[in-house]
Amino acid sequence: MRRQPISDVEHCAAIARIADGLSGEFGGILIGGRLRFGTSQKALNCHLKYLWAFGEIPTPPHCPIDSIVLSHLGISASWTRCDSCEEYMRWINQIRKHLNLAEWENDVWLRWRISNSGI
């Protein structure tokens, strides 16, 4: 079990490996032949978020970035079109101004979900 937190560089490298690996294997059926960085970060970060929520892992290094999160930050961008670690890290650094990434995103997402569910 790893005791030190994952660095931003390591986390972005993992996201890039997912994007590049799946692009190489399934490029023929992907739009533009590529699984973008933004979609890959969402998949990995959601997976880690759920493991954290179930108490299986410590707090993840980043949170899932999507339109809800970007809108809450006042950022007009498309996470599904993002294909660079640099753009993604600009978003992460904006979120860090709001304390813990995973807890902040979960709070934003839950408030959005409740306000849109008719509860």
Phi, then psi, of 66 in degrees rounded to 5: -145, -175
d(CA 53, CA 74): 26
Query: Do residues 21 and 44 touch, judged by C-beta distance below 8 A?
Result: no
Question: Tens of pLDDT along 60-107?
Answer: 999 999 998 899 889 999 999 999 999 999 999 988 887 666 677 777
Whole-structure pTM over 0.85, yes or no? no
Domain ranges (residues) in the chain: 8-115
Q: What is the gyration radius of the CA atoms in the chain, in angstroms?
A: 15
Confidence of residue 119 (pLDDT cuts 50, 70, 90): low
Structure-block tokens of residue 12: 């972005």
